[in-house]
Amino acid sequence: MHVALTGATGFLGLRLVRELLARHRKLTVLAHAGSGGALQRITRFFELSGSSSQFINEIADRLRIVETDLTQPHLGLSVMSFRELADSIDVVWHSAGNIHLDDDPARLRRVNVEGTRNVLALAAAGCREPVVHHVSTAFVAGSRREGVVYEDELDGAHGFENAYERSKYEAEVLVHAWARKHHRPALILRPGVLVSDMPPHPELPAHPLQFVDEMLQTILRGAGGVRADGVRMRIRIAGHPHGHLNLMPVEDAARVMAELGARKRSGGVDTYHVVHGHDVPITTLTAVMEHLAPVDIELVPKRPDDVSPMEAATDLYPGFTPYLHHRRRHDDTRVRCALGASPSRRRVDLAYLLSGVLPAQPGSPAGVAAVRR
């Protein structure tokens, strides 16, 4: 079976490469044209994550790198090259995407919506009629903050917290329309917020929660920097004291996705929530923030009228702060029925999250982070 993957050098994509190579001898990587070094970045990830030297030495022979531009018709390839690529694959994994919550809506749509449209065109053009495995997000549920979200729901009636959610919703709508038009099966995988306890490294994709550190540094600049007297600054942020979010270890998410991808299709569009069995309290996320910077976070019901300059800086991140109100749960009955076990047994707590966003202490085992307070 010939498998192609987009987004192979991303936070999730690198782990999908590992899972897919465990199941297939060869893998075609649809890398972004002009970025260069996809093979080197993938190889470096396996070196840093402790793969065997034998596995690393075989990577170049097992990966076929095809430079593409997902935002362009024919993926930026010539008509002949596009057709040859389409005719060579049996499965298309579409993992590439723009995950910047606060990015310009047009840029988000260009990658997440039009990119999906062009990948679907690739799948439709192939004589082997490849199956599409589309990586979406559990947050296509949008601004619905309470209750239970089920795997067969796809409804934009609640609106969206940010343009990223809307773009991923629109991409799912495209997958459903494509499957109906071509009478073809498709797999949609909706992960929660993907996290890891692997310490950050300059040669690896940023941890999705690392932008919280960026937000805090912006807040500190708004306050004129860290206070010389060492006193921790108090920040009021709108959020629910009993709120919670689903944070899913990326390694487990990739494994679950690969296992679901190997299952026989129903013939229609099969959608799965790839989520952790236990949500993480919002107070744990605020504790992460308090470890990243000398601040004390106070959750308040709504944005204060008398915001300080540093509190006003949180307005620069409107895509993230609404999640501090979330109390909904993502049902994953289909995953549990399919795999017969909890998708992840890792404990996602404060220590786990800090290991993934703080540099490892010199001389410490991997995953032991330095604490900045």
What confidence tens digit (pLDDT) does each residue in 324-333 have?
999 999 999 9
Give how many domains the chain has, as a whole number: 1
Domain hosting 99: range is: 3-195+247-274
Q: Is the pLDDT of residue 143 over 50?
A: yes
Q: Which pLDDT does position 119 carry in this prediction?
A: 98
Q: Tell me whether residue 165 is in a domain.
A: yes
The strand pair at 280-281 and 244-245 is best described as antiparallel
Whether the pLDDT of residue 107 is over 90: the answer is: yes
Confidence of residue 260 (pLDDT cuts 50, 70, 90): very high
Asked whether residue 26 is assigned to any structural domain, the reply reads: yes
pLDDT grade, residue 226 (50/70/90)?
A: low
Which CATH number characterizes residue 188's domain? 3.40.50.720
**pLDDT value of residue 224:** 65
Q: From residue 268, how far is each of 74, 152, 182, 207 by CA, in Å?
A: 25, 12, 11, 34
> Rounded mean pLDDT of 283-311?
92
**Res 366: pLDDT:** 47
How deeply is 373 buried, as exposed, middle or buried, from its count of CB atoms within 10 A (0-12, 13-18, 19+)? exposed
Q: Is residue 342 part of a domain?
A: no
Residue 232 maps to a domain? no
Q: Which residues, listed in sequence order, are joined to residue 187 by a DSSP beta bridge?
A: 133, 270
For residues 114 and 289, give the distance between their C-alpha atoms in angstroms, rounded to a whole number.
Answer: 35
Q: Would you say residue 8 lies in a domain?
A: yes
Report if residue 341 sits inside a domain: no
Confidence of residue 316 (pLDDT cuts 50, 70, 90): confident
Q: How far apart are CA 34 and CA 69, in angstroms?
A: 9
Ranges 63-72, 227-236, 290-299: which has the least confidence: 227-236
191 assigned to some structural domain: yes
When pLDDT is averaged across residues 52-61 and rounded to a whole number, the result is 96
The answer to whether residue 233 is domain-embedded is: no
